[in-house]
Structure 1
Amino acid sequence: MIAPFFIVLTFAAALGSGIMAGLFFVFSTTIMAALARLPAGDGAAAMNAINVVIINPLFLTAFMGTALICAILAVKAIIGWSEIGSAWLLAGSLLYIVGILLVTMIFNVPLNDALAAAGPETAEGANLWTRYLAEWVPWNHVRTVSGIASLACFIIALR
C-alpha cells in the first residue's frame, strides 16, 4: 500500500503527466500541422514566438515540477520495490523522465535553439524550417505517447 504522502505525489504526477501529454498532443495534432501550412518564414517565426512564450512560470512548474515528483517516486519505487504498485510508479516515472524531460532536452530544445538562431526570412531559415518539421514533430510524438503512458502507469499505481 502506498503511504498517503506518496498517494498525493502519485496523483500530482498523474496530473502533470496528463497536462504535458495534452500539450504535446495538441502540438502533434494541430499546431505543427497549421504552422507547416504557412510559408516557411512565417511558420518559423510563429514557432519561435511560441518557444519564447512557453517558457513561463506556470509551464515550468508543471514541466519541471512533474519531473521532480517523478524522480522522488522513482526512488520510492526502488526502495519499496516489494510494495504493490512500485513497478507502475517506476515505469510512470521513467516514462516521464526519459520520454518527456530527456527527449525535450536532447532533441526538441536544440532544434528550438537552432531555429531561433536562424533568420526565418533567410534561405537558411527556410531550409532549417523544413528540417525542423521533419525532426521536431516525431520527437514530439514520442513525448505525447510517453506522457499518456506515464499517466496510465500512475493511474494503475493508485489502484
Structure 2
Amino acid sequence: MTNGVFLAVALAAALGSGLIAGVFFAFSAFVMRALARLPAAQGIAAMQSINVTVLGPAFLTVFVGTALLSLVAVVLALVWWAGAGSGWALTGGLLYVAGTVGLTRVVHIPRNEALARVAAGSDSGRAYWTRYLREWTAWNHVRTVAALAACASLVLAMANR
C-alpha cells in the first residue's frame, strides 16, 4: 500500500469522524437540553421533525461515507499490518463503525421510530418523551466519545505513518 492511499483514507475518515463527533456533541451539549425545556408536545414534535430532516443527503453522505472510509481503513490496516500507524487506523475505523453506526442502528433508530409513532400531545407521548430524553441522550454521549476517539485514532495513524 502506498502512503498516499493510506493517508488519503485516514484523512477523509478522520475529517468525517470529527464532523460527526461535532454533530453528536451539539445534541449532547445543548440541543437535547433545549428540547427538554419545551413543553413535551413541542419537544416531541421538534425531535420528530429533526429525525425526518436528518435523513437528508448532507448528513447521510458524511455519516455513511465515513463508515465506508472507516471500513476501508480497517481493511488497509489488516492487509498492511506491519505498516506504521496500522494499529491506530484499525482502532479508528472500528470505533467509528461500532461506536457510531452500530449504536445508531441498535439504540437510536429504534427509539426514533418509537417516538415517530407517538402523538405529541398524548399522555403516552409525554411519558415516552421523558424516558426518550434520558436514554437517547445518554447513548448519544457514547456515540460522541466514539466518533471523537475514532478521529483521534485516525489522526494518530497518519502521524505515525
Q: TM-score, normalised by structure 1?
A: 0.97
Q: TM-score, normalised by structure 2?
A: 0.96
Q: Describe the superposition over 1:7-63 as per-residue Cα deviations: whole angstroms up to 9, x where unpaired.
A: 111100010000000000000000000000111111111000111111111111100
- AA partner of residue 145 (structure 2): V
Aligned twin of 1:16: 16
Aligned twin of 2:88: 88
After superposition, residues 130-145 of structure 1 pair within 5 angstroms as: 130-145=130-145
Q: Distance in 2 between matches of 1:23 and 1:42?
A: 22
Aligned twin of 1:53: 53
Aligned twin of 1:100: 100
SS in 1 for 2:77: helix
Q: Distance in 1 between matches of 2:2 and 2:21?
A: 25
| RMSD of aligned alpha carbons | 1.0
Q: Describe the superposition over 1:50-98 as per-residue Cα deviations: whole angstroms up to 9, x where unpaired.
A: 1111111111110000000101110111111111101000000011001
Structure 1: runs of 5+ lacking an equivalent: none
SS in 2 for 1:55: coil
- Number of aligned pairs? 159
SS in 2 for 1:105: helix
Matched-pair identity in %? 47
Query: What is the CA-CA distance between 1:3 and the residue it aligns to?
Result: 2.1
- AA partner of residue 36 (structure 2): A
SS in 1 for 2:48: helix
SS in 2 for 1:84: coil
